[in-house]
Amino acid sequence: MFQKILVANRGEIALRVIAACKELSIATVAVHSVADRDSLHVRAADESVCIGPAAPSGSYLNITSIVAAAEITGADAVHPGYGFLAENAHFAEILEEVGLKWIGPSPDAIRRMGDKSVAKSTVKKVGVATVPGSPGPLESIEDAMNLAEGVGYPVLLKAVAGGGGRGMRVARSDKELAAAFDLATSEAERAFGNGSVYLEKYLAEPRHIEIQIFGDRAGRIVHLGERECSLQRRHQKILEESPSPALTDALRAKMGAAAVAVAKAVDYVGAGTVEFLLDDDGSFYFMEMNTRIQVEHPVTEMVTGLDLVKEQIRVAAGEPLSFGPTPPGDGLGWRPQGHAIEFRINAEDPVTFAPSPGTITTLHLPGGPGVRVDTAAYSGWKIPPYYDSLIAKLIVHGRDREEALSRGRRALELFIVEGVKTTIPLHLRLLDDPDVRRGRVSTKWLERWLKSAPPR
């Protein structure tokens, strides 16, 4: 087992990884930017190293600084969390070259799944459906128009190197497509350093269903059920839950088996997520695979009782998966129990969604049965304006969906944050909505609701 792990991240996920290390009696090194000197992850770790200025490019994305910090402190492995360098195959390779273990899948698996058009062709080869669209990057506007005619409007242009809900444009006609092609290409070039885009049919009312998978070095790959993340704004997830109210056991088994097949296609090791769009006729299409731990992993932890971060660390150290044996069939690794919901709490205006950085003057976190809060926030903490606005995740677990919903409500009511605006009032309003209560939502639902339900 590792002696010391460097956590190449900040905020709640850095704390989450440190917690897992503590339970495994592994020493920890935090890295931080100058803006994060007073962060809780710095206080929680055994050692800390300042790796650069506030801007992520100079600190949390600065591979040279992070590798130097690991060498100076004598760490033997690096956990990247999510975001920043978590899906950077080059970083993983450099670590392995200097003799540090990377807590994640192989650089080859990251690369093959990170390029969305390579990912789609890999997935098709193992017989899993992908959204109809271009086989590879688009060559020209004419190419795009021919394909759009084939699949039918509306279509979606996506950056080959995209992620985090960015780099996507919808087009409903040839005219819109011509404009969108130029915009999407230049946006992708700016955001990801790669201007390639591809085209997909834009599904009308899909649900976002993702399957958590896990693999070990012995080649065992299982899945841990699904999370539904259909409530999104601008392709950013707001609320996630498991199980999905839309899945039957038969469909769950099919999607689970498909996810395991995708992971097997790239000899996947560690935690990963296979994302699908589920159409209202029950067909599902591979969208992408995230080769890291995800923001919403606690939802799966709550319904399975497993610690996915500890599992990542064990698997990276060469140990077999700690759970099992896998029952025959779809590859479900552990039977989930009850229902879990995660509410993302962002420091944002709940009406305009404008970021609301500043100092948290008062913070009270809810507790009680079935309630978990993952956060690095504390009273008196000044939220820096340089990073994403997620300040906490509230995760509730109940025997069934009804109980989880009412736990969510009472926990949100006692989740008190003063000094900055948060999305807590938005979640409370969502819980009042009959569609949300019945689970009748799609990825388009939230934006429509925001337009039609006047904010209070």
What amino acid positions are annotated as catalytic residues?
A: 292
Consecutive H or E run containing 374: strand 371-375
Beta-sheet strand order (sheet of 236-242): 284-290, 270-278, 207-215, 221-233, 236-242, 339-346, 390-398, 371-375
What six digits make up the tokens of 326?
């896998």
Site stretch for ligand ADP (CB under 6 A), options 142-150, 196-204, 376-384, 416-424: 196-204
Q: How many residues does the chain have?
A: 456
Q: Which is nearer to ligand ADP, 29 or 271 (CB)?
A: 271
Does residue 247 contact residue 209 with C-beta atoms inside 8 Å? yes
| Binding residue (CB under 6 A) for ligand ADP from 30, 40, 69, 203 | 203
Q: Cis before residue 154, ω within 30 degrees of 0?
A: yes
Site stretch for ligand ADP (CB under 6 A), options 19-27, 175-183, 194-202, 375-383: 194-202
Distance between CA atoms of residues 273 and 110, nearest Å: 12
CB of 408 to ligand ADP, least distance (A): 21
Secondary structure class of 107 (helix, strand, coil): helix
CB of 170 to ligand ADP, least distance (A): 8
Q: Which residue is nearest to ligand ADP (CB)?
A: 443
CA nearest to 413, candidates 424, 423, 402: 424
| Binding residue (CB under 6 A) for ligand ADP from 36, 275, 307, 330 | 275
Phi, psi of 156 (to 5 degrees): -125, 130
C-alpha angle 315/324/289, rounded to 5°?
Answer: 55
Site stretch for ligand ADP (CB under 6 A), options 160-168, 241-249, 252-260, 385-393: 160-168
CB of 225 to ligand ADP, least distance (A): 18
| Binding residue (CB under 6 A) for ligand ADP from 105, 162, 256, 398 | 162
CB of 407 to ligand ADP, least distance (A): 26
Distance between CA atoms of residues 371 and 368, nearest Å: 6
Size of residue set near ligand ADP by CB under 6 A: 20
User: Other C-beta atoms within 10 Å of 250: how many?
Assistant: 10
| Binding residue (CB under 6 A) for ligand ADP from 56, 83, 114, 206 | 206
Instruction: Report the amino acid identity of residue 429.
Output: R
CB of 164 to ligand ADP, least distance (A): 5
Calculate the alpha carbon distances from 350 to 345, 354, 395, 454 in Å.
Answer: 10, 8, 19, 12
Angle between helical axes of 116-125 and 249-265 (0-180°, round to 10): 110
Per-residue contact flags (x/-) with ligand ADP for residues 39 to 68, judged by CB under 6 A: ------------------------------
Secondary structure class of 150 (helix, strand, coil): helix
| Binding residue (CB under 6 A) for ligand ADP from 163, 305, 355, 358 | 163
| Binding residue (CB under 6 A) for ligand ADP from 165, 282, 367, 368 | 165
Q: Which is nearer to ligand ADP, 58 or 132 (CB)?
A: 132
CB of 235 to ligand ADP, least distance (A): 4
CB of 193 to ligand ADP, least distance (A): 16
Binding to ligand ADP (CB under 6 A) within 225-264 occurs at 232, 235
115 binds ligand ADP (CB under 6 A): no
Distance between CA atoms of residues 441 and 264, nearest Å: 31
Chain residues that interact with ligand ADP, rule: CB under 6 A: 131, 156, 162-166, 200-203, 206, 208, 232, 235, 275, 277, 287-288, 443
